[in-house]
Amino acid sequence: MRTQRAALPHSSRAFKTRIGSSQTSSQWLQWLLRRRGGLFSNDISGCWQEEEAVGPFRPGASPAKMAAAARLGSVGEELALLEKALGLQSGYKYGAQGERQIPVLQTNNGPGLTGLITIASYLVKQAKKEQLLGSSAEEKAVVHQWLEYRVTQVGRQSSREDTRTVLKDLNAHLEDKVYLAGNSFTLADILMYYGLHHVMVDLTVQEKEIYLNVSRWFNHIQHYPGVRQHLTNVVFIKNRLYTNAH
């Protein structure tokens, strides 16, 4: 079967052409988030309380795969994985808030921290690995935007079409990039990997080739030290992944 590189949706392609190669990818991502109906705020700590949700499962998945996805999607599980990836000692207490089951971290000082991004950023700082949030002002902004995409788009998948849209967006962005923020491994890569794991597990060989840039990125992240842990290793055909590697 002949596979084709997934085409960038016409409107996205037109926008990328319009901004030109000299502009950063953050402009495209800002436009994409607005087009998808996501929030957009400069305040990383206070804008997620009504928007975060545990990602629903891809329709048509087998019961076993749905059960695995449920374990990863449960409140606190993704953050527990992040703790270990960061080398933190286990012991943080997580709860859930509201109908959307927004994660809450109970702290010893003051009120709890609310929302995946707020808590994840806090854990990164506790681990003294602030470079994962970006090393420059521009990179920090790009990381923030991809974390936002992770919450408002990946965390809201409710249909096969939603899943395809996310994969198309990521496939277009990763065409000339190693990581989401460019050449640096960041928190955005870790949380996006956890958020997409149940989707990638369920893709056929043909679908993995259609979204080849996503597959190459995902395979790279799952082999990054400490990230995958107990999660299922997703198998890819490596000679296809790296034939067109940049």
pLDDT per position as a tens digit, 99-145? 777 889 987 777 889 999 999 999 999 999 999 999 999 999 999 99
User: Which residue is associated with the tokens 């960061």?
Assistant: 86
The token pair at 214 is 């996503």
Instruction: Examine the pLDDT at 242 and tell me if it is beyond 50.
Output: yes
pLDDT for 3-55, tens place per residue?
444 434 434 444 443 333 334 555 656 656 655 554 333 333 333 333 333 33
The pLDDT score that the predictor gives to residue 23 is 44
* CA torsion, ordered 38, 68, 180, 137, to nearest 10 deg: 70
Does residue 65 carry a pLDDT above 50? Answer: no
Indicate the pTM of the whole model: 0.72
Show me where the domains of the chain are located: 24-241
Type of residue at 40: F
* CATH architecture classification, 24-241: Up-down Bundle (1.20)
pLDDT attached to residue 29: 66
DSSP state of 102: E
C-alpha distances (whole Å) from 98 to each of 19, 49, 102, 115, 167 are 40, 9, 7, 11, 29
